[in-house]
Amino acid sequence: MHIHIGRDIYDKPVKITASKNLTLTNILLESSRNKGIDLISVIDCHAPAVQQEIKQLISQGDAIELSDGGIRFEKVTLILGSEIEVYDEHCKGPIHVLLYLPTLSAMEHFSEWLAERMKNITLSSQRYYGTAKELQYKVKELNGLFIPAHVFTPFKSLYGKGVTKSLVEVFDPDLIDGIELGLSSDTSMADQIQELHDFTFVTNSDAHSLAKIAREYQEIALKEPSFKEFNWALHQVANRRIIRNFGMNPQLGKYHKTVCNNCLTSLATDVTECPKCGSHKIIKGVFNRIQELKTGENTMTHRPPYLHQVPLEYIPTLGPKTYKKLLERFGTEMNVIHNATIEELVETVSDKLAHSIIQMREGKLKINAGGGGKYGSIAPS
């Protein structure tokens, strides 16, 4: 539920740091055919050119707008989303938020409103000039959903820089529909913070390339994939709910540990100077930030299971040709990661690689933790 657009229908950049082949149509094809996902959100749908591409797909008969919200393309439903940067007088630093709207007309209306409060609406994750609560009110006026994004990331997030201690410093908690954990944390880490106990946790990829789609995702009990059903699941209505969260081991995230920004040496929490190079530029890791914020041990019992997974691209010896061979045999990457047996894998790839996939599934691969903007990695066996 957090996928970026690299290029729009006119080959103009949307998310500048995203891959050029990360177009709306490519995202839909990858999600439907290779990843095996039923419900996604592209969070750059506020950009007018992205809306034009959606309209083009509908006019060509390749997509239809659902009565319960969302755009159906082949086997996948697209929820129209937007990622926005909030930095009002109540924020200690910039905060990224996600919002989801039910219809194309609602997103077009929102874009018109946003264009008067943003310098460049054609780009992703731009700063919005207004208060956080005004943005929440607008989203709710349009029957939308509001979720703070990657809430512990050291930069541009709720707890990373945005607030000293509590989300109420900036937001109206009654108008928040969920919390996105981000790649460097998981449920057990986040539930050490009491004020988060009442919110549904979502685990999303924040994909900047096609390969990154579904590195984190959630399994949801829905009648069908649509905006209405997703909304109900976030609020546990009529037995709709998140069944399981799937996320990378937090150590694989870019900001799990505290490091020196200059030489990437791992540091203790309270260090203000790197003992190796003398730099004072310290990037606090998510693990250490949660230790500062926590209000007690995790005592939650109603959370769905959080299953750690490692995307196939993290396995050092698995290249594009092998990836293609696995998809041809098992259909989707999720089937390879979670369902294929060791016997089936050995029939398709080398014995060593097959066992690496099983070890990865069982959490037995050694991980070098990430930090300071550098992803963690699987240690060579």
Question: What is the per-residue DSSP string for 268-305?
Answer: -TT-SS-TTT----EE--HHHHHHHH--SS----SPPP
Per-residue pLDDT reduced to its tens digit, 174-183 = 999 999 999 8
Beta bridge partners of 113: none
Pairing of strands 71-73, 63-65: antiparallel
Neighbouring CB atoms inside 10 A of 365's CB total 18
> What's the pLDDT at 299?
66
Specify the amino acid at residue 280: H
pTM greater than the 0.85 cutoff: yes
Q: Token pair for residue 5?
A: 């657009």
Where the chain has pLDDT below 70, the residues are: 297-301, 381
Q: What is the dihedral of CA 101, 102, 104, 107, to 10 degrees?
A: -20
> What's the pLDDT at 368?
87
> What's the pLDDT at 202?
98
> What's the pLDDT at 365?
79
